[in-house]
Amino acid sequence: MDQLELLNLEFTALKIRRHILRLIRAGEAGHVGGALSSVEIVTALYFNIMNNDPSNPRWPERDRFVLSAGHKCLVLYAALAERGYFDLSILDTYGALDSPVPGHPNMHKLPGVETNTGALGHGLSIAGGMALGIRMDKSPARVFVLMGDGELAEGSNWEAAAAASMHKIENILVFVDRNQLQISGPTTKVMNYEPLEERWRSFGWSVRTIDGHDFNSIISNARELPFEKGKPSVIIADTIKSKGLSFAERKVNYHYWKATPEEMTRAEQDLDEIENSLKKKLKSITGNE
């Protein structure tokens, strides 16, 4: 991937982060920490990795995205809007009565949403079923899943993990957003599932660990699906919770953020700074503003 292509994705990620703030502004609060930690993963999926068509969201050959950690929905809404599944103005309805962008995603309310998640520990089984159905149809489509690290304490995930391995499901790629924090504190203190790599491997998965904010790494690994023949693939993505907001990064109390006006101003300044540095990078590559 060339530098310009990469930078382009970073600009898109910035737009996604701005859309997340727009959602929070509309709804006054939301699950921001895990949405921001997974921006690069979701951006890479919707703007590089996945074959999809916003004008035909139910295209049978499309790649699927299952947001198992449904509370990260702000990043999904932001990415779908930016990708053109629906008008950006829909984001301004977050928190309103009957909004198509509820606090957890609803496939019946919004084009591009594949599953109704929110209760944790459901997405991997559903994704496994999708992958089996796609395989029966001899379709080239793949299923991408985003899970939280805190979510892994739900036992149902491990039923699904065992079954995906038993059925040799190759057309699935799970990203575990390992931001290391959940509502009550560090994931290793609340319920320790580390070392995640060994656990997934022992369930029959092919495992890789990457920097979950590094587009190069996300994309080059995703392109190698399946990592091993006859095995499902998982990427443990090390990330920073609330990535992009300097005052909130790695802080547990921003799992769910009720934004004060002062914090919102600081958040916008932080994103402006990111924009300035991206512009400088662009200039250094192209010699233009």
Partner 1 sequence: MNELKDPRKTFGEAVIEAAEKNPNVVVLSADSSSGSGLGAFPERFPDRHFEFGIMEQGVIGFASGLATTGKIPVFAAIAPFVTARPFEMFRNDLGYMNQNVKVVGRCAGLTYDQLGSTHHSIDDVAIIRTIPGVTIFNPGDPVTIRKAVHAMINHTGPCYMKIGSPKMPVLYPEDVTFTTGRGIVMKEGSDVTLVGTGTVLSKAVAAAGLLEKSGISVRLIDIHTVKPLDRDLILKAARETGRIVTVEEHFIAGGLGSAIAELCSQEYPVKMKMIGIGDFYASNGPYEELLGKYGLQPEQIKDTVIKFLST
Examine residue 137 and tell whether it contacts partner 1 (CB under 8 A).
Answer: yes
C-alpha 289/C-alpha 267 separation (Å) is 24
The structure tokens listed for 161 are: 């993990």
Residues 20 to 79: which contact partner 1 by CB under 8 A? 60, 64
Asked if residue 195 has a cis previous peptide bond (ω within 30° of 0), the answer is yes
Q: If you count DSSP H runs as helices and E runs as strands, how many of each does the chain have, helices first?
A: 10, 9
Identified binder of partner 1 from the candidate list 88, 107, 183, 285, rule CB under 8 A: 107
By CB under 8 A, how many residues form the interface with partner 1?
Answer: 33
Residue 7: count other Cβ atoms within 10 Å of its Cβ: 18
Examine residue 279 and tell whether it contacts partner 1 (CB under 8 A).
Answer: no
Question: Closest approach of Cβ 205 to partner 1, in Å?
Answer: 15
Question: Closest approach of Cβ 148 to partner 1, in Å?
Answer: 17
Residue 132: count other Cβ atoms within 10 Å of its Cβ: 17
Identified binder of partner 1 from the candidate list 26, 50, 132, 153, rule CB under 8 A: 132
Examine residue 166 and tell whether it contacts partner 1 (CB under 8 A).
Answer: yes
Examine residue 129 and tell whether it contacts partner 1 (CB under 8 A).
Answer: yes
Examine residue 92 and tell whether it contacts partner 1 (CB under 8 A).
Answer: no
The structure tokens listed for 63 are: 């790649």
Stretch that binds partner 1, among 91-99, 104-112, 230-238, 252-260 (CB under 8 A): 104-112
Identified binder of partner 1 from the candidate list 43, 125, 179, 187, rule CB under 8 A: 125
Q: Among all chains, which residue has been given the structure tokens 């609340």?
A: 190
Tell me the C-alpha to C-alpha distance, in Å, between residue 203 and each of 167, 172, 175, 199, 252.
Answer: 12, 15, 16, 6, 30
| Cβ-based nearer residue to partner 1, 16 or 124 | 124
What residues have CB less than 8 Å from 110, skipping those under 6 apart? 77, 80, 85, 86, 90, 100, 101
Examine residue 9 and tell whether it contacts partner 1 (CB under 8 A).
Answer: no
Residues 203 to 222: which contact partner 1 by CB under 8 A? none
| Cβ-based nearer residue to partner 1, 3 or 51 | 51
Identified binder of partner 1 from the candidate list 2, 98, 136, 289, rule CB under 8 A: 136
Identified binder of partner 1 from the candidate list 12, 38, 99, 115, rule CB under 8 A: 115
What helix, strand, coil percent values describe the chain, rounded to 5?
A: 50, 15, 40
| Cβ-based nearer residue to partner 1, 133 or 230 | 133
C-alpha 21/C-alpha 27 separation (Å) is 10
Q: How do beta strands 185-186 and 181-182 pair?
A: antiparallel
By the criterion CB under 8 A, which residues form the site for partner 1?
Answer: 60, 64, 106-108, 114-119, 122-134, 136-137, 156, 159-160, 162-163, 166-167
